[in-house]
Structure 1
Amino acid sequence: MKAHLLVQMWLLLSGLFFEAGQTRSSQARLILYRTREFGGGTYTINVNDQKLGKLPTNRYLQVELPPGRIKIESARDYVTENQTLWIDAQPGRTYYVKAIEEVDFLSQMLLLVSIGPEQAQRELQGIKPVSLPRPN
Structure 2
Amino acid sequence: MGTLGEPLPGGQDILGFFGPLNGGATDPEADRRLAQLLSFPTLAAQAYRTGDWSAFEAQRAWLEAAYPQVFSAASVELVEGAAGGGPQAMLLEIPGSNPQLAPLVLMAHQDVVPCVPGTQDHWTYGPFAGTADGTWI
TM-score of the superposition, structure 1-length normalised? 0.26
State the TM-score, normalized to the length of structure 2.
Answer: 0.26
* Larger helix percent: 2
Higher strand share: 1
